[in-house]
A and B are shown apart, each in its own frame.
Chain A
Amino acid sequence: MPWNLNSDRPIFLQIIDKIQIDIVSGFYQPGDKLPSVRELAQEASVNPNTMQKALSELERTGLVYSQRTSGRFITEDKDMIYALKEQRAQALAQHFLENMQRLGFQKEEIFRFLSQFLKAQ
């Protein structure tokens, strides 16, 4: 997945987002080794210090752990990854709900609309 960094949010937060999605979506499997800071920074065209900051933050939350000599790895805690997946889905659902309400839809209408939409897919 390409790094689509936009300009109005801190870059390290966008890097965290991107790596979280890569983990949740299975692009990185539990226990996988992450590329080095330098490789990731080059791939994303960002400052290595910014990449380092994002990875430290991911480490702090436990999603990524580092082994002193061999690099950084994705957590093997599948429950933690699933919890993150739900958390991200919840945020998306919240966003969808707010936008639909802005269009004037009531909750029942949204539900009806969504089930019809899913059937048509």
Chain B
Amino acid sequence: MILLECKNLTKKYGIRTALSHVNLLIEPGHIIGLLGPNGSGKTTLIKLIAGLLAPTEGMAYVEGNPVGLASKSLVSYLPDHTYLNSRMRVQDAIRLFEDFYQDFSSACAHDMLAKLDIDPSFRLKSLSKGAKEKVQLILAMSRQAKLYLLDEPIAGVDPAARDYILRMLISNYREDASILISTHLISDIENILDEVIFLQNGQIRAFTSVDGLRQKDHKSIDSIFREVFKC
């Protein structure tokens, strides 16, 4: 069964091509790293799959549904910036998600908030950058989606909380769902990945298993990335 299929997916911003003829098949049950230098097309790819951008050419399909109403109920998307009204309280954001998504579990969200020591009665604007990121990640992960698209989920989070978040991602692992994580913090995250996609200039340079790559090159994914994309 194919969870996500991208066929000839292309996105141009004016004359600049951000993503060029990407073909991709993702099966359920994987945690996949989407890696690439700045401007390589990671966020564009994620936004196309989430349905926030319209492709210039080609199409993405989630469980066979072209990106649209049906696919959006299967996809949980975490943007790389804050998008919630900062005057909202954390608990209001949870209620909002509960209203919008049938597959959202507020019990699950409250449980994770407690573990990360975030008071649900706080307003978002009173939270630190890291805490705000944690709230958004918790919201995204409290859905029972098939495909989780996490755009830079741990960038502003301290190392201890990062460990908790990684464990949280593992404990939420389901055989019928996959997680696509875009990040620059490869060394922090590579142990929880089983596959990686290297994006370069809007094209997929490699899509491979993490241990296969480590076995072949005797190096971490982080070192391989540094070599492949050396400036």
Say if the beta carbon of A11 comes within 8 Å of chain B. Answer: yes
Given A8-B214, A41-B173, A47-B192, output 8 extra A-B contacts at Cβ < 8 Å. A8-B219, A42-B171, A44-B191, A45-B191, A46-B192, A48-B170, A49-B29, A50-B211
Known: A11-B191, A47-B194, A49-B194. A42 touches B167 (CB 8 A): yes
B interface list, Cβ under 8 A from A: 29-31, 163, 166-167, 170-171, 173, 187, 190-194, 210-212, 214-215, 218-220, 222-223
A interface list, Cβ under 8 A from B: 5, 7-13, 38, 41-42, 44-50, 53
Closest to A53 in B: B211
Q: Can you report 22 A-B residue pairs in the complex whose CB atoms are below 8 A from each other?
A: A5-B191, A7-B219, A7-B222, A8-B220, A8-B223, A9-B214, A10-B215, A41-B170, A42-B170, A42-B171, A45-B163, A45-B167, A45-B170, A46-B191, A47-B31, A47-B170, A47-B191, A47-B210, A48-B173, A50-B191, A50-B210, A50-B211
Do most interface residues of chain A lie in helix, strand or loop, or is the interface mixed? helix
B187 to chain A: which residues have CB within 8 Å? 7
Closest to A6 in B: B220
Is there an interface contact between B192 and A9, defined as CB atoms closer than 8 Å? Answer: no
Q: Which 3 A-B pairs have the closest CB atoms?
A: A7-B220, A10-B211, A47-B194
Determine the distance from Cα of A12 to Cα of B211 in the docked complex, in whole angstroms.
7
Is there an interface contact between A45 and B194, defined as CB atoms closer than 8 Å? Answer: no
Determine the distance from Cα of A53 to Cα of B194 in the docked complex, in whole angstroms.
11
CB distance from B83 to the nearest CB of A (A): 29
Determine the distance from Cα of A115 to Cα of B214 in the docked complex, in whole angstroms.
40
B220 to chain A: which residues have CB within 8 Å? 7-8
A49 to chain B: which residues have CB within 8 Å? 29-30, 194
B31 to chain A: which residues have CB within 8 Å? 47
B171 to chain A: which residues have CB within 8 Å? 38, 42
- Most chain-A Cβ atoms within 10 A of its Cβ — which of B30, B173, B191? B191
